[in-house]
Amino acid sequence: MKAPIKGLIIAGTMIFVAQSANAIGCLSGGAAGAVAGHYAGHHAVLGAVGGCVVGHHYAKKQKAEKKAAAAAEANAQHAPSHT
């Protein structure tokens, strides 16, 4: 009986923290990490935390790459033509 309650408290806390921190990629990464951790020796919580960190990192990296690509495209459109 204590294990399901503990799991619900941990899951609720993680969702609250992810929403309050506005962590992009954390929820999807955390879910994938929890599943992987569960199958790798019943370490779902550790997997979820690790997945959250990795998911947030990749989302932040992808956002920066999109921003750089948009800036490069904008610079290319405004560059004078030498023809």
The string of pLDDT tens digits covering residues 14-66 is 666 555 455 678 888 888 889 998 898 888 889 888 988 888 888 889 999 99
Which residues fall within 8 angstroms of residue 13, CB to CB, at 6 or more apart? Answer: none
Domain boundaries defined on the chain: 14-76
3-state secondary structure 38-58: HHCCCCHHHHHHHHHHHHHHH
Q: Identify which has the larger pLDDT, 65 or 75.
A: 65
Q: What is the pLDDT of residue 24?
A: 74
Which residues fall within 8 angstroms of residue 35, CB to CB, at 6 or more apart? Answer: 44, 47
